[in-house]
Every structure is written in structure tokens, then in C-alpha cells.
A and B are shown apart, each in its own frame.
Chain A
Amino acid sequence: GAGVSQSPSNKVTEKGKDVELRCDPISGHTALYWYRQSLGQGLEFLIYFQGNSAPDKSGLPSDRFSAERTGGSVSTLTIQRTQQEDSAVYLCASSSGGAGDTQYFGPGTRLTVL
């Protein structure tokens, strides 16, 4: 079946602009994660959605970052007033639900802030 998809694959924006990144999880997966992968920093957890529960936003680096998940499926990560340090690959992952379930990653969105 189809894996996790993300769009756009690449995004170049100017400092100060807002961007929206989209994630389509694997059909039927109730858990959805966003990570950020910066050069030399590895993957950092950003936010976690599980079903109808309140999301775990503990990894969001600032209040410029927000995410929502509509209808328990598609998720959008929004970065407001982008800064150069926001340049990174943003990865989305989904899993079937349990804490120990394998997380399947999408290909990521490469964000460049000029």
C-alpha cells in the first residue's frame, strides 16, 4: 500500500514568511509524528498526535511552530515568520497506534529559509 507522503518535497521561502507543510499518513494509522532533521543535529521530535487525544507539543521549538491534524488523518505543520535557523528537513511519520509500534517515515520536506 501507499506509504507516508509529504508535500511539498522542497520549499524555499524568504525570512519572515509563513510556510505550511503537509503530511498524509498511512491509511488507518492513528498515530502521527513530526520530526526535524537539521545538519549535524539528527532527528528532533516536534509533535505527536494520537487519535482524538490532545497532541503532545513538547518538542515544538517556539510558538512560531504549530500543527494540526484534521479528521484524524492529514496533518499540517505551520511555521510562522520563518527564520534562517528553521532551515531543515521536516519529516513526518505514522504508526498504527501503540507506543511500541514501528514508525514509518515519509520522504520529508526540505525547507530553506533565505
Chain B
Amino acid sequence: QKEVEQDPGPLSVPEGAIVSLNCTYSNSAFQYFMWYRQYSRKGPELLMYTYSSGNKEDGRFTAQVDKSSKYISLFIRDSQPSDSATYLCAMRKGSNYKLTFGKGTLLTVNP
């Protein structure tokens, strides 16, 4: 079993839809959780960074962490065609610098 599992999709939604992206993990040592967005032929860029269980909101994006279930989510409200990209979850342990990534979910938002 991989440390981080992420459904690769693809996921296709109409413009304006609410999108839910998820990852599960097996190692309880993971303490910091991130979501990266990667456009085609580009490097990943950090979207959200969370530490504790609960919700963190930034504009149309909400990151949710449930450490008891080892489950993290990213919600995108009022999705736009410009949100079409691959979304990668990532996590790390304590003060360790190594990021462990999910495989990424390819999202397409159709106008």
C-alpha cells in the first residue's frame, strides 16, 4: 500500500460546479498537508498548506484535514475553466523536508 493514495480521475465538471478532490494516507506521522496545482507542461504551484485537522479557506478553495480518518480534501467552489489542471496532494512528517505526493487528479472544468 502506498503511503498516499489519490484517485487519478480524470474528473470532468461543468463550470460553476463544486469540485471535491481527496487523498488518503496510511502513515500517522504526516503532520503537514498541502495541495499543489499543476498546469500542463508546468511545475506544481502551492495552493493550500494546512497543519491541524479542520478547515482552511482561501477564496474559492477550502482544504479540509481529518487526521483521525487519515483523509484530506480540497473543495473548489464556483469552478472555472481556468481551474482545469492536475491537483496533487502532498504531505510531510514533522520537521522533515521530504514531501510525499499523491499521483494527482486531472480536473477539467467545461465552459
How many inter-chain residue pairs (CB < 8 Å) link A and B?
55
Instruction: Report A95 CB to chain B, min CB distance, Å.
Output: 8
Closest-by-CB residue of A relative to B93 is A99
Interchain CB contact (< 8 A) of A107 among B42, B95, B96: B42
Query: Which of A40-48, A60-68, A69-77 binds B?
Result: A40-48
Rounded to whole angstroms, the CA-CA distance of A45 and B99 in the bound complex is 7
Q: Are B43 and A4 in contact (CB under 8 A)?
A: yes
Q: How does the 8 Å CB contact mask read for B89-102 relative to A, with 1 for contact and 0 for none?
A: 01010011111111
Q: Is B17 an interface residue (CB 8 A)?
A: no
**Distance to closest chain A CB from B99 (angstroms):** 7
Residues of A within 8 A of B (CB-CB), count:
26
Q: With a CB–CB cut-off of 8 A, which chain A residues contact B88?
A: 42-43
Q: Does A78 contact B (CB under 8 A)?
A: no
A100 touches B32 (CB 8 A): yes
Known A42-B103, A106-B43, A107-B42; judge A99-B95 contact (CB<8 A).
yes
| Top 9 A-B residue pairs of the complex, sorted by shortest distance between their CB atoms | A105-B43, A42-B103, A43-B101, A99-B97, A42-B101, A99-B95, A105-B44, A107-B43, A106-B43
Chain B residues with CB under 8 Å of chain A are 4, 6, 8, 32, 36, 41-46, 49, 88, 90, 92, 95-104
Residues of chain A whose beta carbon lies under 8 Å from any beta carbon of chain B? 4, 31, 33, 40-45, 48, 50, 56, 59, 91, 93, 95, 99-100, 102-108, 110
